[in-house]
Chains A and B, each alone.
Chain A
Amino acid sequence: MTSMETDVASSSRVVIPGESLFPSAEDLRPGKGTYELHGHIYSSLLGYVYVREDTTDSRNIRVIEVRRNEERHQHVSPHIGAIVTAKVINIGPRYAKCQLLSVEDTILGGDYTALLRKEDIRSTERDKIEISECVLPGDILLARVISFGDTVTSFLISTAEEQLGVVMATGETGEKMMTKDWNTVQGVETGRVETRKIAKVPNLNLHSTTKAK
């Protein structure tokens, strides 16, 4: 992510949405959690004010941000191009309906749904695809938001990249499955094998034996 190391934090001030932060200036830019209106920069979130230096474009620009968490920026809602973690709720002939659990590393608070279209699952052979061979209800996916959907809280996601796809699967019988190889998952208890569109992401939880989930 963008360099957060040069943030100025210490004893920052707490602001509420709509509170005026600074008058607009040439070297001030409204960042995440703020907006500019009528010559002033206002906060749009409840949180702390941060000032960040940005030296791109060979100009010293200070970016004003408001963050809920002192350490890192938290997303409020998914934006286009973000990597999201989604859980498949149900599937249809042409798409799978998912619920967005988190945007990058921010766990979402609201009820965000997304649609994963058939042609957006894979990057090759996009038409000849069977949804049930790629995702099933209950699977956890890594996907990217590509556009907004019908309503404010609905989006279109895509897994048409190598590193995107299913990370944890739920089998047809409802059991938990782990990835076996590039295309298949295997049930933890029964050993039953099924096909999925799997994300080529290192699985670092192999040692985990937790039953809760």
Chain B
Amino acid sequence: MTDEVQDNGDNSQEKEEEQLGDRSAESGKNAGAVSKSVALSREANRAARALVMESNKLITEDVLALTKTYPACNALIEQQEIRIHNLMKKLMRKAGTGVQPPKLETAEVAQLIERTITATDNLCGDIHMIIDALDKAQRDEIVKIPKQVVGAESTRKYLTAEDKAAAIRRIATNLPSLLAQRMRQRDADMNTRKVAMHIEKPQKKYGFSFCIDNSEEPFKPKLVTKHHTKAPLASNLTVIDVDEGKGKRTWQSDIAQSLHPYAFELEHLKIPEQQLNSKKPIKSTNLEAQEIVLVDSKAKLDELIGILNKEREFAVDLEHHCDRSFLGLCCLVQISTRTTDFIVDPFPIWKDMHALNEPFTNPNILKVFHGSSSDVDWLQRDFGIYVVNMFDTYWAAKKLEFKKFSLAHIVSKIAGETLDKQYQLADWRVRPLPKHLISYARQDTHYLLYCYDVLREELLKKGIEALQFVYENSKSCCARVYEKPKFDSEKCLSLSKRQLNNQQMHALTGLSQWRNQAARSEDEGPEFVMPTYQMLHIAESLPRAEQEILACCYPLPPLVKQFSNEIYKIVWSARVLPQEKKSLTSASSDENRSNLLEKYVDEMNRMTAAKALLRCNIDFSHTNFDEEIGGLPEELLNDAGTKQDVLKKLQRDSYLPVLLGLSGSEKEIMVVGRNKYKRKLVNSIVKELEEWVSPYECYQILEKREAKRRKEEEEKNQEQ
């Protein structure tokens, strides 16, 4: 073992490690740099391999002894030692490893090796920590990656281990500062939430509650004018039924309500050429550079429509609220063109929103959505807006087999931007809209057009059929017809995890119905009227007094307080019901009891997947329970599937002939011995035992007598 290292190997290694030290700072940037560091580590590997190859070519021990006898060689060796030592010192310092090579005079090979190993370990540790921190930040998708460099600072400054520790602390403190940023934002959100309870309901404030129909009647479409029509709107037909002798009968056909008004147009939609051709994707403009236009008046809305009518494509997204409204409310419509982001506040212009139908149903203008099924429903329900010619990025992601199909993942993968998703569940009714909500909302559509471009190119690379697939699915989303949610009073019974007796079930169904009616009349969400867990609590505990009911509901919803009398009546009507007890000990008839036994036995014998898991100690986790488990004997496998007559099987030989000796039900009492007296005694005892009626047999005889008597009585009654 020598501590001589050849020039080449050493040089390349030093260069490598210095590069690594500097580059680790850069890897603090995006995920894109991770690939750079992968390439980097490959280079380092190559250099290390070269190093090992070269060092193997060096002279061996025995030759070294000879070499050292030459003074010139000795001098060279010593010179190289010093040089190498200096190189290692510089290297370890620059890379920020925190260790130093041992002093030349007292150096031992083992020590040197140890120090080198410690140095590389420390380096790896630093890199790991940084990569972990950034990984976590990326995974959460909530925390924005800060633009500042998180990682090792310039390594030239490192002098002692102290400096390194300080750098580590700096990394650690950067993370809490991100948390602090989140806390600040969350505080803002809390205030928004507090405001939510005190927000005046926009239905009342802006006066469009007459547009909302919460009744059980089927939904009436709100279409006012049909733009871009190819077929006339299927108006409410008047059907005249001529019945012989009974005269004419006329009624209105409501077929219009169940059809999609644009069904014909959608079916015959021809995708415009420019949407099927390949074109270079146009990148989204910078968030700060692009302006946000707030549309909240009829004039601004008309302006917007004018702009949209001239566009080739635009992106759309909606923000929805469902707590304080029975059917739900659209609170915001975000529309993005290539140059501008528009935020449409529908509350002041609720009745005029239908004018957006003009660009939305134009078959030559493309609308880009993400996850459009609920958006299409909401547009129909609230504004009577329909969509013709749409591209849904969700279907594109599915076709291209992305790992995740969320908007955030698509945007981060294609545009490289991380969307801040924390306001997804905020209350969007708040007016005036705070700045952070507006900037959150516009993000959803800002990158969508660029994503559409890139996705289109990817799909075209796969083939025109892939693109057609996405358009077909988007078309079926457009063809959705909104239907009001139906209320099923039996559904509430499945909510309870416990077995309820008839009183509790009555109370639960009554409460559920009241909740539904109150929600409809007050136009609130059912959960706001009375949360499900409170409803279950009341049904299960059946409180006796009104105060108790109010105590069951904590925190007390305002509508419960208002209608506490109604609730009390429902609970009281449940309490007065006679309690039905299911008792096994009730004297039931023969058939009932035997049926019970049959059912019980059936239940015990029927093997279900769950039971099999519990009972069996064989690992079935990787098998499908519907398939047959292998290992059955050949003869049985042959029988499987063939519907042989079951009776024939009985004749088969058993492979345990020993047990054939089991036959014989009666115990034959052998009388041993020839003693006549003993035999007689035994026989008399046996006779008595046979004559003796066991208690159960007495019971059975009684049952038979009862059944006979009942039958006779019935016959007598029938005769009478």
Residue A129 interfacial (CB < 8 Å) = no
A35 CA to B585 CA, complexed, in Å = 28
Establish whether residues A2 and B594, one from each chain, have CB atoms under 8 Å apart when the complex forms: yes
Residue A158 interfacial (CB < 8 Å) = yes
Establish whether residues A16 and B600, one from each chain, have CB atoms under 8 Å apart when the complex forms: no
For A15, what are the chain B residues with a Cβ–Cβ distance below 8 Å?
A: 654
Residue B646 interfacial (CB < 8 Å) = yes
Residue B597 interfacial (CB < 8 Å) = yes
Establish whether residues B647 and A8, one from each chain, have CB atoms under 8 Å apart when the complex forms: yes
For B585, what are the chain A residues with a Cβ–Cβ distance below 8 Å?
A: 144, 146, 158, 160-161
For B249, what are the chain A residues with a Cβ–Cβ distance below 8 Å?
A: none
Task: Pick the residue among B632, B685, B697 that contacts A40 (CB under 8 A).
Answer: B632
Min C-beta distance of B659 to chain A, whole Å: 5
Establish whether residues B600 and A22, one from each chain, have CB atoms under 8 Å apart when the complex forms: no
Given A142-B695, A212-B685: 14 more A-B contacts, CB < 8 Å = A8-B647, A12-B650, A13-B649, A16-B656, A35-B607, A39-B626, A39-B628, A46-B662, A69-B665, A80-B600, A105-B696, A158-B585, A161-B585, A163-B699
Residue B584 interfacial (CB < 8 Å) = yes
Residue A28 interfacial (CB < 8 Å) = yes
Min C-beta distance of A113 to chain B, whole Å: 19
Known: A37-B607, A38-B612, A161-B587. A13 touches B652 (CB 8 A): yes
Residue B601 interfacial (CB < 8 Å) = yes
For B691, what are the chain A residues with a Cβ–Cβ distance below 8 Å?
A: 208
Establish whether residues A81 and B606, one from each chain, have CB atoms under 8 Å apart when the complex forms: no
Residue B605 interfacial (CB < 8 Å) = yes
Min C-beta distance of A111 to chain B, whole Å: 20
Ranked 8 nearest A-B pairs via Cβ:
A167-B695, A204-B693, A37-B607, A30-B605, A201-B698, A14-B659, A23-B640, A35-B605
For A83, what are the chain B residues with a Cβ–Cβ distance below 8 Å?
A: 696, 699
Establish whether residues B629 and A38, one from each chain, have CB atoms under 8 Å apart when the complex forms: yes
Known: A8-B650, A14-B654, A82-B597. A203 touches B698 (CB 8 A): yes
Residue B52 interfacial (CB < 8 Å) = no
Establish whether residues B665 and A71, one from each chain, have CB atoms under 8 Å apart when the complex forms: yes
Closest to B635 in A: A20
Known: A14-B659, A161-B587, A163-B699. A105 touches B650 (CB 8 A): no
For B639, what are the chain A residues with a Cβ–Cβ distance below 8 Å?
A: 22-23
For B606, what are the chain A residues with a Cβ–Cβ distance below 8 Å?
A: 30, 35-36
Residue B463 interfacial (CB < 8 Å) = no
Residue B692 interfacial (CB < 8 Å) = yes
A13 CA to B636 CA, complexed, in Å = 16
**What would 10 A/B residue contacts be, using CB atoms closer than 8 Å?**
A16-B659, A31-B601, A81-B597, A158-B585, A163-B699, A201-B699, A202-B702, A202-B705, A204-B701, A208-B691
Residue B602 interfacial (CB < 8 Å) = yes
For B633, what are the chain A residues with a Cβ–Cβ distance below 8 Å?
A: 20
Establish whether residues A11 and B699, one from each chain, have CB atoms under 8 Å apart when the complex forms: no
A residues in contact (CB < 8 Å) with B: 1-2, 8, 10-16, 20-23, 25, 28-32, 34-40, 46-47, 49, 51, 62, 64, 69-71, 79-83, 85, 102, 104-105, 140, 142, 144, 146, 158, 160-163, 167-168, 199-205, 208, 210, 212
A12 CA to B662 CA, complexed, in Å = 12
Most buried by A among B605, B627, B656, B698: B605
Establish whether residues A38 and B694, one from each chain, have CB atoms under 8 Å apart when the complex forms: no
A85 CA to B594 CA, complexed, in Å = 18
Known: A14-B654, A142-B695. A25 touches B584 (CB 8 A): no
Establish whether residues B636 and A49, one from each chain, have CB atoms under 8 Å apart when the complex forms: no
Task: Pick the residue among B612, B650, B654 that contacts A37 (CB under 8 A).
Answer: B612
For B105, what are the chain A residues with a Cβ–Cβ distance below 8 Å?
A: none
Establish whether residues B688 and A210, one from each chain, have CB atoms under 8 Å apart when the complex forms: yes
For A12, what are the chain B residues with a Cβ–Cβ distance below 8 Å?
A: 650
A161 CA to B699 CA, complexed, in Å = 12
Establish whether residues A79 and B692, one from each chain, have CB atoms under 8 Å apart when the complex forms: no
Interface residue count on the B side (C-beta < 8 Å): 59
For B654, what are the chain A residues with a Cβ–Cβ distance below 8 Å?
A: 13-15
B residues in contact (CB < 8 Å) with A: 584-585, 587, 593-594, 596-598, 600-602, 604-607, 612, 616, 625-629, 632-633, 636, 639-641, 643, 646-647, 649-654, 656, 659-660, 662-663, 665, 685, 688, 691-703, 705
For B650, what are the chain A residues with a Cβ–Cβ distance below 8 Å?
A: 8, 10-13, 49, 51
A204 CA to B699 CA, complexed, in Å = 10
Known: A16-B659, A38-B625. A102 touches B696 (CB 8 A): yes
Known: A70-B665, A144-B585, A146-B584. A201 touches B629 (CB 8 A): no
Q: How many A-B residue pairs have CB under 8 A?
A: 147
Closest to B606 in A: A36
Establish whether residues A11 and B651, one from each chain, have CB atoms under 8 Å apart when the complex forms: yes
Establish whether residues B695 and A23, one from each chain, have CB atoms under 8 Å apart when the complex forms: no
Establish whether residues B596 and A14, one from each chain, have CB atoms under 8 Å apart when the complex forms: no
A104 CA to B593 CA, complexed, in Å = 13
Min C-beta distance of A177 to chain B, whole Å: 15
For A14, what are the chain B residues with a Cβ–Cβ distance below 8 Å?
A: 654, 656, 659-660, 662
For B698, what are the chain A residues with a Cβ–Cβ distance below 8 Å?
A: 167, 201-204
Min C-beta distance of B359 to chain A, whole Å: 59
Min C-beta distance of A134 to chain B, whole Å: 16
Min C-beta distance of B197 to chain A, whole Å: 50
Closest to A47 in B: B662
Closest to A2 in B: B594
Min C-beta distance of B664 to chain A, whole Å: 9
For B656, what are the chain A residues with a Cβ–Cβ distance below 8 Å?
A: 14, 16
Closest to A8 in B: B647
For B701, what are the chain A residues with a Cβ–Cβ distance below 8 Å?
A: 202, 204
Closest to B663 in A: A70
Task: Pick the residue among B641, B662, B695 that contacts A85 (CB under 8 A).
Answer: B695
Most buried by B among A37, A79, A102: A37
A136 CA to B263 CA, complexed, in Å = 84
A11 CA to B647 CA, complexed, in Å = 11
For A79, what are the chain B residues with a Cβ–Cβ distance below 8 Å?
A: 597, 600-601
Establish whether residues B693 and A205, one from each chain, have CB atoms under 8 Å apart when the complex forms: yes
Min C-beta distance of B211 to chain A, whole Å: 54
Establish whether residues A201 and B702, one from each chain, have CB atoms under 8 Å apart when the complex forms: yes
For B685, what are the chain A residues with a Cβ–Cβ distance below 8 Å?
A: 212
For A212, what are the chain B residues with a Cβ–Cβ distance below 8 Å?
A: 685
Closest to A42 in B: B607
Min C-beta distance of B685 to chain A, whole Å: 8
Known: A35-B607, A146-B584. A105 touches B693 (CB 8 A): no
Closest to A51 in B: B646
Min C-beta distance of B707 to chain A, whole Å: 12
Min C-beta distance of B587 to chain A, whole Å: 6
Min C-beta distance of A129 to chain B, whole Å: 16
A64 CA to B215 CA, complexed, in Å = 56
Min C-beta distance of A199 to chain B, whole Å: 8
Establish whether residues A208 and B688, one from each chain, have CB atoms under 8 Å apart when the complex forms: yes
A28 CA to B646 CA, complexed, in Å = 9
A14 CA to B653 CA, complexed, in Å = 8
Min C-beta distance of B595 to chain A, whole Å: 9
Min C-beta distance of A165 to chain B, whole Å: 10
Min C-beta distance of B277 to chain A, whole Å: 56
Min C-beta distance of A162 to chain B, whole Å: 8
Closest to B626 in A: A39
Closest to A162 in B: B587
A182 CA to B593 CA, complexed, in Å = 26
For B584, what are the chain A residues with a Cβ–Cβ distance below 8 Å?
A: 80-81, 144, 146
Min C-beta distance of A70 to chain B, whole Å: 5
For A36, what are the chain B residues with a Cβ–Cβ distance below 8 Å?
A: 605-607
For B696, what are the chain A residues with a Cβ–Cβ distance below 8 Å?
A: 83, 85, 102, 104-105, 142
